[in-house]
Structure 1
Amino acid sequence: MSELTIKLPSTVNHSVTDIYNYTNVKISLPDRCPLCDEMQTPIFITSSGLEDGDYKFSIILECNKCRQHFLQHYKFNGASFSRMGIKTRYADQINFEYQFNNSGFNDEIASCSQKFVNIKHQLDIAEKMNLDELLKFGYRKAIEQLVWDYLKTYQEKSEKNLQSKSLPERIKLLNIPENNWISDLIAWVGNDGAHPYQRNQELTIIDMKNLSNLLVSQIQNLIQQHKYMEYHSKNK
């Protein structure tokens, strides 16, 4: 693994204010291109600046095989050395971290199933990376997790009881008006995502997302009803 010492310009609001104010950093370059997967030593192009108090930065590299540009992210590790009065810090490679919050979900959904929220965030990442073949089955997994957690929390179903039932059967336990057809359709499209053949070619990932949104909305309503019914029962 090749090493390189670079100069990170100090920035304020991500703008360089003094070209003579910089931090020396020694880094290890990646030994494989994430785009063509070839072993090689990439060419350093440029780096981001370094905001005051920040410990992370990124650099742009060029693969010397496929000539594509890619990003690599780093974080200072606390180690450093000085030579002739010049301090150089060390930084380690890190994977890019997507930052998400639960703003896309109501509190009822997030509190019922944090695992569902996590899976949905991973699906958002997969969609941004054009990993379309993973989405149908991924949405099925997300819905199955939400239904599972709801039935355990609000209907006090045991794991043993739920394990003996299929996903459509679990959805039907929700007792929502649309449970007969929506449970079948979600299972059908989700199963198509796991098989090399498609039994329901007319139903795309767009349909799976729409069906998922419908069911999530129904479960959110059920949670709200449960809370108000509980309050009414305690205070009547």
Structure 2
Amino acid sequence: MYVELPDFCPHCGKSVEPILVSQNIVKGNESQCAELCWKCPNGICSRLFLSSSELSVQNGNAYYLLSQYQLIPTYCPPIDFADEVDRVSPQFSEIYRQANRAENAGLNEIAGVGYRRALEFLLKDYCVYIRPEKEDDIKKEFLSQVVQKFVDREEIKQIATVALWLGNDESHYVKKT
């Protein structure tokens, strides 16, 4: 059996030649699936991960790769925000990272809602930062009203309005865009 060797670790993101730990063939009617467990040789990481490839059986035991391998977990590069962003809105940073992990895992139906939520935290926290005396009002208002009432910079207001319009679309049954 030949399957393509993963060339990086999905945990640490380093380029590696992983060590094969175990393998399993899942048999189906038309095709089979090769599941391989690998260990990252990077001493700092040393974590396990899986690759999965669909195989075809021809001529008895000869296996031919039908699909590119899929790594589990999927690799999600780290995202670092400017210190100012983390200071003003630490929840934005965490929510955004979670939405990004969902997107990288192929969970596109929930990633958009996560990005929209992250944007809400960033904008409201920013408004509280620039107008701390209005914190209670900012927390109670709908985000679109907060942007219109408390964001003074026109370019931020315009970008936020468009982003909210697109982001809101992610959470509705029928998208309007």
Fold shared by both chains (TM-score > 0.5): yes
After TM superposition, give the deviation of residue 192 of structure 1 in Å: 1.6
Please give the alpha-carbon distance, in whole angstroms, between the structure 2 residues aligned to 1:44 and 1:191. Answer: 39
Matched, 1:196 2:169: no
Letter of the 1:187 counterpart: L
Bigger-Rg structure (1/2): 1
Letter of the 2:78 counterpart: F
Matched, 1:56 2:78: no
Structure 1's 175 and 46: CA in aligned 2 closer, same or farther, altered over 3 A?
A: closer
Matched, 1:100 2:91: no
Q: Deviation digits for residues 75-132 of structure 1, max 9, x if unmatched?
A: xxxxxxxxxxxxxxxxxxxx66745141xx3332222112212222233333334444
Q: How many residues were matched structurally?
A: 146
Matched, 1:123 2:114: no
- Aligned positions of 1:51-200 closer than 5 A: 51-52=42-43, 54-61=45-52, 70-71=70-71, 98-102=76-80, 105-157=81-133, 159-172=135-148, 173-178=150-155, 181-199=158-176
Please give the alpha-carbon distance, in whole angstroms, between the structure 2 residues aligned to 1:166 and 1:174. Answer: 14
Cα root mean square deviation, aligned: 4.1
Structure ranking higher on relative contact order (CA contacts 8 Å, 6+ apart): 2
Counterpart secondary structure, 1:50: coil
State the TM-score, normalized to the length of structure 2: 0.57
Higher strand proportion: 1
Work out the percentage of aligned pairs sharing the same amino acid: 21
- Aligned positions of 1:206-221 closer than 5 A: none
Structure 1's 54 and 193: CA in aligned 2 closer, same or farther, altered over 3 A?
A: closer
